[in-house]
Structure 1
Amino acid sequence: MMESKRQRQVAKQIQKDLGEIFQRDLKQLFDGAFVTITDVKTTPDLAIARVYLSFLLAKDREGVLQIVRENTKVIRNLLGERVRHQLRIVPNLQFYIDDTAEYAQKMDALFAGIVIPPAPAEGEE
């Protein structure tokens, strides 16, 4: 299903604002972990925003995700203060771990470990 231009605009705005909120206002919550918003997807009615998070320096990603989820109300209020002029309703936020960066790292590690034998030289077979 294609996202509308409006959905993409709203998602981008939310991603930017949440990024700033996470870096400025909530930094102390995450026990030194660096939380980045890697993606935001909104429902067509803009009522729900699925927010994908990536954690650097997090000893316990699930733990940090839990802290984020427990603070959803606070985060949504902070977001609301920033977007109240752009959005009629502040979407409900749902937070998920974005595994793509980790997946990419695992793939890189796998590929780095593959030994490819050299091709036989001309005339050897």
Structure 2
Amino acid sequence: MAKKSYSSGSGPSQRQLRVGELIRRALSEILQRGDIHDPDLNRLSVTIGEVRVTPDLRVATVYALPLGGEGKDDIIALLAKNKWELRHLINKKLALKHSPDMRFRLDEMFDKMDETRRMFEQEHVRKDIERADSRDEDEAEQE
């Protein structure tokens, strides 16, 4: 009996993670070297934070952010405009069986990390954390 192609777990498979990382590295290298024939895209420094691939490896969602955070909307539009050339270069570089269709999204992870840091710096949150830490220490001593 054939094994199901989709895992029953909630997260991505090892294959999805591996292919996503390969695409992220290739895309970063292509953008860094300026292999694209678009001068507007070549003059910008782009950070590729993550690439998520669907289970069938046909669609790759690329999370990108311009270095310094300025021109966020422009970078997504430029990447989308040049996606066919990027797809061609990635396929040539990685020799994948199927070149995934790429969708570009703004990487908001850095904003979320900044917000989390601000939250942990608030006085009432810090007190709650210290209280929880002291309770954990008391429980460890009792055992």
Query: Pairwise mapping of residues 69-84 of structure 1 onto structure 2 (< 5 A)?
Result: 69-84=80-95
Instruction: Establish whether residue 19 from structure 1 lines up as the match of residue 31 from structure 2.
Output: no
Distance 1:107 1:33, change over 3 A: farther
- Structure 2 CA distance, aligned partners of 1:34 and 1:105? 21
| Structure 2 counterpart of 1:7 | 16
TM-score (norm 2): 0.69
Q: Percent identity?
A: 27
Unmatched 5+ residue regions in structure 2?
Answer: 1-9, 128-143
Count of equivalent residues: 114
**Greater share of residues in helix:** 2
Kindly state the Cα deviation for residue 49 of structure 1 after the two structures are TM-superposed: 0.6
Which of 36, 40, 51 pairs up with 1:40? 51
Q: 1:3 to 1:29 in 2, by over 3 A?
A: same
Q: Which structure 1 residue ranges, 5 or more long, are not aligned?
A: 120-125
Aligned-residue CA RMSD (Å) = 2.3
Give the TM-score normalised by the residue count of structure 1: 0.77
Report the alpha carbon displacement of residue 105 of structure 1 after superposing the two structures with TM. Answer: 2.5
Q: 2:112 aligns with which of 77, 81, 103?
A: 103
Identify which of structures 1 and 2 has the higher relative contact order when contacts are C-alpha pairs closer than 8 Å and 6+ apart.
Answer: 1
In the TM superposition, what is the alpha-carbon distance from 1:7 to its structure 2 partner? 1.0
Query: Please, which moves more after superposition, 30-39 or 68-77?
Result: 30-39
Shift of 1:108: 3.5
